[in-house]
Amino acid sequence: MEILPTLEKNYLPDRDVKASVIWLHGLGADGNDFAPIVPQLNLSLDFGVRFIFPHAPAIPVTINSGYVMPAWYDIKQVDVDRHVDNEQLQESASRIHDLIDREIERGIQSTRIIVAGFSQGGAVSFEAALSYEQPLAGIMALSTYFATVGTIKINAIQQSIPILICHGEHDPVVSEALGKRSRASLEKLGFDPEYHSYPIEHSVCPQEIEDIGNWISRVLKSG
């Protein structure tokens, strides 16, 4: 299968890249969605981060009457249990593995690679990062849910991976209850996720962007 098309932004274009953040968008968006946030993260120039924003393929989405749109997987029913196409989600996670592999081939250590995602992209990020066969720098899960908690094959090498979960308290698309459930599920599995909530809906806000930048800095500084 061909590698996913991506948008790339180096934190400093003329600087050697030393770390990578692979950041997945949500349903109906594309890789351009979060690219404008990069300059707002205020990361140290010393980190030399390359941001990679993959574009999801266009597929029919059941909850949108079968309308074809960019999606990492089909959502069959919107309820508290989020009925999704697990096979498609796992296939998307495999394609993120390919992007991680490519970064390693480009000279980035696996322990300097963060996998991030918003909404649907966050669900894929959980699956992709926790099942990857080499240690990663961290997982950043924004306004999302742990869709494959019952089926995922977690690689033991990820047991101490840093995890950041951020969620809007008034999210009408992905209820914060799902974010809290993700945190609880991860804790039961032995992880220690960092959780932040904000008085927003299904989006990000300035305080969240600041928290993301601080978390990336801590992860890359300690890695």
Query: Of 203, 82, 55, nearest to 143 (Cα)?
Result: 203
Active-site residue (options: 55, 94, 202, 217): 202
Beta strands, E only, 125-193: 138-142, 163-168
One-letter amino acid at 7 equals L
User: Phi and psi (nearest 5°) for 159?
Assistant: -60, -30
Q: For this structure, is 83 an active site residue?
A: no
Q: How far apart are CA 127 and CA 99, in angstroms?
A: 14
Q: For this structure, is 55 an active site residue?
A: no
Active-site residue (options: 20, 92, 119, 125): 119
Q: How many CA atoms lie within 13 A of 154 on its CB side?
A: 17
The encoded tokens of residue 188 equal 């039961």
30, 32, 38, 41: CA torsion to nearest 10? -50
Element (H, E) at 170: none
Beta strands, E only, the chain: 6-10, 19-24, 49-54, 58-61, 67-70, 75-77, 83-84, 113-118, 138-142, 163-168, 194-198
Active-site residue (options: 167, 171, 175, 182): 171
Query: Of 205, 187, 100, 91, nearest to 142 (Cα)?
Result: 205
Q: For this structure, is 119 an active site residue?
A: yes
Other beta carbons within 10 Å of 188: 9
Catalytic residue numbers, as ranges: 119, 171, 202
